[in-house]
Amino acid sequence: MSAVLDLKLKRANKVYHEGEVLAGVVVITGKEAIQHQGISLTMEGFVNLQLSSKSVGVFEAFYNSVKPIQLINSNIEVAKPGKVPGGKTEIPFEFPLQVKGNKVLYETYHGVFVNIQYTLRCDMRRPLLAKDLSKTCEFMLHCQPQKSKVQPSPVDFIITPETLQNVRERSVLPKFLIRGHLDATNCVITQPLTGELVVESSEVAIKSIELQLVRVETCGCAEGYARDATEIQNIQIAEGDVSHGLPIPIYMVFPRLFTCATLETTNFKVEFEVNVVIVFHDDHLITENFPLKLCRV
Amino acid sequence: MVSVPWHSRVRHYEAELRSCRAAVASVDFGDYHPLKPITVLDSRSRRGGRKGSTSSSSSSSSSVAPDPLSSLLEGTDPLSLFAALSIWSSMAGCKRNINPDTQTCTTREREEEVGLDFEPWAAKRGEILARFTTTEKLSINLFMGSDKSKASSPSSAVSEKVRTRLEELDDLEEGSQREMMNLSQQDYVNRIEDLNQSLKEAWSSDQKVKALKIVIQCSKLLSDTSVIQFYPSKFVLITDILDTFGQLVYDRIWSMCSDPHSLPDTFSAEDVNDTAKETCLNWFFKIASIRELIPRLYVEAAILKCNRFLNNSGIQETVPRLTAMVRGIGDPLVAVYARAYLCRVGMEVTPHLKDSLNKNFFDLLASFRQIHGDAVQNQLVLQRVEVPVYLTLYSPAIHWILQCVAYRASDVLLTEMMERCKKLGNNALLLNSVMWAFRAEFVAARATDFISMIKDCDETGFPKHLLFGSLGRSLACADPPESERLPILNEAWKVITKVRNAQDYITCAEIWVEFTCRHFTKREVNTVLADIIKHMTPDRAFEDAYTELHSVMMKILTYFHNFSVLFSMEKFLPFLDMFQKDSVRVEVCKSIMEVFIKHQQESTRDPVILNALLHVCKTMHDSVNALTVEDEKRSVSLLINGFIRMVSFGRDFEQQLSFCVEARATFCNLEPVIIQLIHTVNQLAIETRRVMGGSHSRKTAAFVRACAAYCFITIPSISNIFSRLHLYLLSGKVALANQCLSQADAFMKAAVSVLPEVPRTIVVEGKQRSSESFLLEFISSFLSTLLVVPDHPEQGVLYLVRGLLNMVQDYTWEDSSDAKVRVYISALPLLAAMSQESYLYTILNVDSNETLYGGDPKFVAEISRLCETLIGQVLDHLKTLGREEGVHRQGSLAFSLFSCLLAHADLRNNKLNQLAVNLWNLSHKNGQCDTRISVRTLEHIKSQAQHSELSHLSDMLLRLSLQSRA
């Protein structure tokens, strides 16, 4: 190995906000001195939109328009052409995270149809006969905390056979009464989703109660749109025939990367929902859906 | 052969003794102890008390006082120093126990919240594993594959194709689903151990995700309640893995923070660097996304301690949340064990967080109905497990929860908890754990209440004998009010005696025996024993209950130290008879004897005790056979000896002798016991002599002869030759002291006749060693005894001495050994002493040779001849040594003969004088002599020469030259 290029950010969690400065070091290790024609850093941010296979046929005309949306692209030079001595060399850098014009930096988000990703790339150009070196690292971007105070807007719910929709044969349904509440539907993304659920009565034994976190991604707006809901995670909160009348806590941590503050732009939307799923012993499945609004404070 | 005529030096023993003795300073025995540091408290009063001490000596004794030992130790000897230390530390311990609830929460104090009196989990672990076993086949279903096949899974309803990385956490090896069926219990344990190993391997090879997967899969096994009897053990095994994992994660993050210097034990979240925090946070995010409830709960509990890295209040917030989370577990058994795990981790990490412990317990009460719910009943029918068995599965977990809750809790809280338990129906299970886990004093004070509650319990549920067992356990540690004791015992025993199953019965009875012994007399204990015998005899049930029966015996022995009371219990011996398996029987007998030896203060003649203990000892003795190991024999002998020493018939000596005769017959296989018996009989003879003031009546004379006869016929049965020799000699002395001349003669003769049998090597402590030094030692001792043994009228002069010397001559000594010659040299002082007019020592009422011969010249001449021969032999030997390599030996032998001559020969005789000088020169010829000794010898001669009758020594001194080492 002749030379290795590495990028190290100062912050362990690699989380930055707009207007902050990415600080870190470029680390070059090699046995001998390395001749180069300049080392530069590039910061890039893109929104990648992808259409679900279901939608492709319908919106073929629309296909071309779904190309990556660039959010940021800037470049600085770390070192002028010259020589790096052998051994380990660390070149510190500071890179301001600034957007040009009126562009907005969305939060980092990894979804199925929408991906928002920020990378920092270091390039070392080298003279003939030597390969250029390059190293990329991802960093997270969190949007600026919301100024206004979040109204938690709690919600109470009762689930009985009567409250259900989309039921084919209401008559075969067992009798049950499940009461509960969510402490907030306007959630702070760093705080867990909390609430309680009480099985007041149930004719049939309960097999499992689960919380399903769902992302709803919408792409395209002007000519039509593709809206897809996919599961992020499924958390079991009760297993087996739980004691009736005893409140069971609802608790779910929002996973990082896969969630972001609820986002609505002209080209795409990222929204979240939670389903309370109750599975009965006879494999009847009941789902109660609650749209969530995530934000950052 | 050079013959040197012998002339003994005339000794004036008394005068010599006077001249040697230092100034007499007698010390009162009352306040003098050699080990005591010497301090003079009141020198004046002590001086008055001293007899024959001059004032100068008394002042010197007080000023010289510093004794080297005590001055080294600065006045306190090490033992008392230790004692003082231990008192101090136990006081400190007490102080700690008194105020455990200090408000300030420094870590030091926090650690002390869990004191030594808290029974740790590790202690329970083994117990559970041993108790909950199964013969049924088990299976491990490790769901390492992604559950694509699960059609009913709600996740598939939303998106079948797309899987996020988070969900992939469930795969260990992609698409594999390992199910191991038909495992025996041992296989199962091994598998779990394998998983534990692979967890450690994965961790050390940096496959953290794989490690997490293993842990998740393992904790998933805890939601499976098939083969329910095994569940508690499964819990133990799997929580071991969780503990390992928790420790690994904690240590890893800890090590990330310890750069550049390690964190203090009392670190707070601010001391933790960002990388470590980030890693820690990652773990929590990963765990928070585990799909199933039970793994998520267990794994988060396992790394609870890591919350300390993130923020200072993390643990306080997490524990209540996890506690609430348990409510989601439907199966009551699974839930209760999850609670137990939480309590365990909670006690370890934050023992001061009592609230969540209490909450755990109250939640348990709230969901208590579940245990008797339909779902459970159906499961039991399916698995063919009976309700009482099922309920006992809960015990370890509830015990543990209650133990944590009750630990140092106030009585108010305990009472409240008890009341809440009371309100529930079917509460036997809880009651049992309450009695088990709450403070014994608390339970004891309310014993009557508990009994009535137990009575109210449902017959079909939790087994009652277990309830009484738990109550008995508490009562064994703490005392109920005095007035309630008898009713409690009556009530309890009423139930216990009705227990049908012998094993259940004895487990319970064993516990209650302690309570009975503690508070009641032999009457009640006797009744209890009778009941136990009644229950255990049918179908030889006792055969399966030896451990419990032994424990019953031990408890009785702990409380009854008076053996006459013990053996007067009618049922005690029948109870003892229940131990029919030899090994157990011997163990029990040993315990009895140990207690007897430890607690019997004075010797006894009580026929009840003697008979019973003789029986007990005989049992032990009879267990000894050819295969018994040496240690076992030794310990049995020790116990029997202890017993024999404790037997005394006071003035009834004949009775005592006949006891010894009986004992000899009974314990004939144990040599140490036989030896002890001979000592006892000898002691008896001496005691008789003391009582008679030295002169026997006809009757006592006959008795001591009987004693001598006893010894004489017993000694030959001993195989150890040196024991035999010493006993002959000792018994001979005793016989002599009792004026049994012919007996003494016989003993001496026997000793001499045994001498040739002494082997050249003997085994000492497992090693072969030359017997020479032992033999020399014995012969010296023997020789010194011979001084007082009068010659037999029908045998020649000095018959025994000659006999001994002949034996020595004929004995096959080791080649290249001077032992024989050394014996000869050591015989010279004896002969010299014998030729004195009055002997150095005599025995009261026994005429020694001095009176028999009255210094007859013929007798003296005989002695001189003997000496001549001996010296001749020695000189011959010296010559042979000169020829060989043995110049060193020659020198030292010559020197010892010289010393002997100096001390015992009349050196005014020219020939002897010349011989002495020659010997001196010989010993110095080769420079083998220790110069210091030579110098000291010369000094001694010089000081001796100052006495008028030894003035000739000064002439000799001139002829002795010190050889300068060239």
Residue B519 Cα, gap to closest chain A Cα (Å): 46
Statement to judge: residues A128 and A159 lie in one domain:
no
Cβ-nearest to A243 among B157, B284, B370: B370
Nearest C-alpha neighbor of A102 from the set A266, A236, A238, A216: A266
Minimal C-alpha gap between B173 and chain A (Å): 21
Q: Which residues of B touch A239 (CB under 8 A)?
A: 223, 292-294, 328-331
Instruction: Look up residue B458 and give its two tokens.
Output: 């449902």
Instruction: Give B68's Cβ-side CA count (13 Å radius).
Output: 0
Quick one: which of B288, B306, B305 has its CA closest to B297?
A: B288
Neighbours of B659 (CB within 10 A): 20
Whether B130 shows a pLDDT value over 90: the answer reads no
Would you call B291 and A234 a contact, using CB atoms and an 8 Å cutoff?
yes
Chain A residues near residue B289 by CB distance under 8 angstroms: 233, 235, 253, 255
How far apart, in whole angstroms, are the C-alpha atoms of residue B527 and residue B496? Answer: 13
Cα–Cα distance measured from residue B422 to residue B427, given in angstroms and rounded to the nearest whole number: 7
A258–B164 CB contact, under 8 Å = yes
Helix (H) / strand (E) containing B239: helix B231-257
Residues A163 and A289 occupy one common structural domain: yes
Instruction: Select the residue from B143, B162, B164, B287 to test the A interface by mutation, using most A Cβ atoms within 10 A.
Output: B164
Residues in chain B: 966
Query: CB of B296 within 8 A of CB of A237?
Result: no
Q: Are residues A207 and A78 in the same domain?
A: no
pLDDT value of position A35: 86
pLDDT of residue B167: 42
Q: Are A254 and A109 in contact (CB under 8 A)?
A: no
CB–CB contact B327 A279 (8 Å)? no
Name the domain boundary from A141, A168, A193.
A141
A279 chain-B contacts, CB cut-off 8 A:
152, 154
Whole-number Å distance between alpha carbons of B263 and B247: 16
> Residue B289 and residue A235: Cβ atoms within 8 Å?
yes
Matching residue, tokens 């036989």? B674
Handedness of CA B513, B515, B518, B523 (dihedral sign): negative
Which among A214, A238, A243 is the nearest to B366, CB-wise?
A: A243
- CA pair distance B23, B792, nearest whole angstrom: 42
Does one domain contain both A53 and A91?
yes
The alpha carbon of residue A57 is apart from the nearest alpha carbon of chain B, in Å, by 18
B318–chain A nearest CA distance, Å: 12
Q: Choose, out of B153, B159, B300, the residue to mutate when testing the contact with A (most A CBs < 10 Å).
A: B159
Res A58 pLDDT > 80 = no
Closest CB from B155, B162, B367 relative to A246: B367
Contact B289 A233 (CB under 8 A): yes
Say if residue B144's pLDDT is above 70: no
Residues ≥6 apart with Cβ < 8 Å to B860: B8, B835
pLDDT mean over B552-569: 88
Ordered DSSP codes for A42-79: EEEEEEEE---HHHHTTTHHHHTT--PEEEEEEEEEEE
Name which of A130-134, B24-28, B475-479 the model is least confident about.
B24-28
Residue A146 within a domain: no
Burial of residue B693 (CB within 10 Å: 0-12, 13-18, 19+) is exposed
Question: Which domain CATH number covers A291?
Answer: 2.60.40.640
Question: Do the domain assignments include residue A148?
Answer: no
The C-alpha atoms of residue B883 and residue A15 are separated, in whole angstroms, by 102
| A89 inside domain | yes
Q: How far apart are CA B270 and CA B310, in angstroms?
A: 8
**Hey, are the CB atoms on A249 and B288 less than 8 Å from each other?**
no
CB contact under 8 A, B293 and A238: yes
Q: Which of A119, A141, A163 is the last residue of a domain?
A: A141
Contact B166 A255 (CB under 8 A): yes
* B152, B167, B278 member nearest A12 (Cβ): B278
Token code pair at residue B341: 């795990």
pLDDT the model gives residue B308: 85
Q: Does a structural domain hold residue A149?
A: no
Q: What angle do CA B629, B634, B635 make, to 5 degrees?
A: 105
Question: A10-22: per-residue pLDDT in tens?
Answer: 888 888 988 888 8
pLDDT in tens, B370-382: 887 877 888 888 8
Pick the closest to residue B929 from B886, B955, B895 (CA basis). Answer: B895
Which pLDDT score is estimated for B641?
93
User: Which among B152, B158, B274 has the least Cβ separation from residue A283?
Assistant: B152
**In this complex, do A241 and B369 lie within 8 Å of one another by their Cβ atoms?**
no
| Letter string b/e over residues B778-800, b meaning 16 or more CB atoms within 10 A of that residue's CB | bbbebbebbbbbbbeeeeebbbb
Residues on chain B touching A238 (C-beta within 8 angstroms): 293, 327-330
Output the pLDDT for position B29.
57
**Pick from A230, A237, A253: CB nearest B328:** A237
What are the start-end ranges of the H helices in B350-501?
354-366, 374-383, 387-392, 395-406, 411-423, 428-437, 440-445, 447-456, 464-477, 485-496
Instruction: Using DSSP bridges, classify how beta strands A15-17 and A133-142 pair: parallel, antiparallel or unpaired.
Output: parallel
SS3 B267: coil
Of A86, A107, A141, the residue at which a domain comes to its end is: A141
A259 by DSSP, 3-state: which? coil
B672 prior amide bond cis, ω within 30: no
| Confidence bin at B180 (pLDDT 50/70/90) | low
Candidates A128, A155, A153; CA nearest to A37 is: A128
**pLDDT at residue A237, rounded to an integer:** 93
Residues 6 or more apart whose CB falls under 8 angstroms from that of B137 comprise: B181, B182, B183, B184, B227
A9 and A117 both lie in a single domain? yes
Average pLDDT, chain A: 86
Structure tokens at B535: 């229950």
Mutate one of A178, A231, A286 to test the B interface: name it (highest B CB count within 10 A).
A231
In a domain, A32, yes or no: yes
Residues A140, A143, A148: CA angle, nearest 5 degrees: 155
pLDDT at A112 (0 to 100):
86
Q: How confident is the model at residue B143 (pLDDT cuts 50, 70, 90)?
A: low
B167/A242 Cβ within 8 A = no
**Between B223, B277, B324, which is nearest A249 by CB?**
B324
How many other C-beta atoms can be found within 10 angstroms of the C-beta atom of residue A21? 13
State the pLDDT at residue B157. Answer: 36
In three-state secondary structure terms, B837 is: coil
Task: Report chain B's mean pLDDT, rounded to a whole number.
Answer: 80
pLDDT at B307 exceeding the cut of 90: no
Q: How confident is the model at residue B25 (pLDDT cuts 50, 70, 90)?
A: low
Q: How far apart are CA B647 and CA B645, in angstroms?
A: 6
- The predicted pLDDT at position B734 comes to 94
Contact A258 B166 (CB under 8 A): yes
What SS3 class is residue A290?
A: strand
pLDDT digits over A189-247, tens only?
A: 989 999 999 999 988 889 999 999 999 988 875 556 778 889 999 999 999 888 888 89
Q: What percentage of chain A exceeds 90 in pLDDT?
A: 31
Q: How much is the pLDDT for B485?
A: 85
For residues A265 and B212, what is the distance between their CA atoms, to the nearest angstrom? 39
Task: Give the integer Cα–Cα distance in Å for B792 and B742.
Answer: 8
**Distance of residue B577 Cα from the nearest chain A Cα, in angstroms:** 55
Q: Which residues of B sit within 8 Å Cβ distance of A?
A: 152, 154-155, 157-159, 162, 164, 166-167, 223, 273-275, 277-278, 281, 284-285, 288-294, 296, 321, 324-325, 327-331, 334, 363, 366-367, 369-370, 373, 375
Cα A228–A230–A232 angle (5° rounding)? 145
The minimum CA-CA distance between B324 and chain A, rounded to whole Å, is 6
Residues A132 and A232 in one domain: no
Same domain, A136 and A164: no
- In angstroms, the Cα distances linking B541 to B465, B494, B499, B532, B597 are 18, 21, 14, 11, 32
Residue A133 and residue A81 share a domain: yes
Calculate how close chain B gets to A241, using CA atoms only, in Å. 4
- The token pair that represents A208 in the structure block: 């499992």
CA dihedral B691, B695, B697, B701 (to 10 degrees): 90
Q: Which residues of chain B neighbour A277 with C-beta distances below 8 Å?
A: 154
Residue A18 · residue A99 · CB < 8 Å: yes
Would residue A173 count as lying in a domain?
A: yes
For residue A231, what is the nearest residue in chain B, using CA coordinates?
Answer: B158
Using the beta-carbon criterion (under 8 Å), do B274 and A11 form an inter-chain contact? yes
How far away is chain B from the Cα of A36, in angstroms, using its nearest Cα? 32
- Residues A132 and A248 both lie in one domain: no
Residue A291 has pLDDT above 70, yes or no: yes
Give the model's pLDDT for residue B677: 94
CB contact under 8 A, B159 and A230: yes
For B155, the closest of A231, A239, A249 (CB atoms) is A231
Q: What's the token pair of residue B842?
A: 């005599």
A48 and A137 in a single domain? The answer is yes
Q: Which domain holds residue A229?
A: 155-295
- Cβ within 8 Å, pair B328-A234: no
Looking at the complex, report in whole angstroms how far the Cα of residue A202 sits from the nearest Cα belonging to chain B.
13
ipTM (interface predicted TM): 0.90
Q: For residue B169, what pLDDT is reported?
A: 42
For B846-903, the pLDDT digits (tens) are 888 888 888 788 888 888 999 999 999 898 888 888 776 777 888 888 889 999 988 8
Q: What is the mean pLDDT of residues A98-122?
A: 87
Q: How far is CA B860 from CA B471, B635, B856, in A?
A: 88, 53, 6
- pLDDT band for position B160 (cuts 50, 70, 90): very low
Using DSSP's 3-state secondary structure scheme, residue B771 falls into: coil
* B497–chain A nearest CA distance, Å: 39
Alpha-carbon span B735 to B792, nearest angstrom: 15
- Which tokens is A10 given? 């100062």
Å between B373 CA and nearest CA of chain A: 10
Which of B167, B222, B289 should be substituted to probe chain A, the one whose Cβ sees the most A Cβ atoms within 10 Å?
Answer: B289
Chain B nearest CA to A113, separation (Å): 11
pLDDT of B297 reads: 93
User: How far is the C-alpha of B314 from the C-alpha of B309, rounded, in Å?
Assistant: 9
Q: How many domains does chain A have?
A: 2
Residue A277, φ and ψ in degrees, nearest 5: -110, 125
CA neighbor of B864 nearest in space, from B84, B5, B241, B80: B5
Identify whether residues A101 and A169 lie together within a single domain. Answer: no
A101 in a structural domain: yes
Which band of pLDDT confidence, cut at 50, 70 and 90, is reported for residue B179? low
Spatial separation of the C-alpha atoms in residues B949 and A10, rounded to whole Å? 107
Which pLDDT belongs to residue B447?
84
Torsion over CA: B810, B816, B820, B824 (sign): positive
- The one-letter code for the residue type at A109 is Y
Helix B411-423 to helix B428-437 angle (10° resolution) is: 160
pLDDT value, residue B928: 66
SS (HEC) of B516-583: HHHHCCHHHHHHHHHHHHHHHCHHHHHHHCHHHHHHHHHHHHHHCCCHHHHHHCCCHHHHHHCCCCHH
A8/A63 same-domain check: yes
Contacts of B814 (CB under 8 A, 6+ apart): B760, B770, B772
Q: How many CB atoms lie within 10 A of CB A227?
A: 14
Interface test with A, best of B293, B317, B326, B356 (most A CBs within 10 A): B293
Which residues of chain A make contact with B334, given a CB cutoff of 8 A?
240
**Secondary-structure breakdown of chain B: helix, strand, coil percentages, each rounded to the nearest 5:** 70, 0, 30
Phi first, then psi, for residue B30 (nearest 5°) are -55, -50
Question: Which residue type is seen at B591?
Answer: S
Residue A19 DSSP label: T
Mean pLDDT of B152-165: 39
pLDDT tens across B738-762, in order?
999 999 999 999 999 999 888 888 8
Q: Which residues of A touch B275 (CB under 8 A)?
A: 12
Task: Examine residue A181 and state whether it is found in any structural domain, yes or no.
Answer: yes
Chain B residue with the nearest C-alpha to that of A283: B152
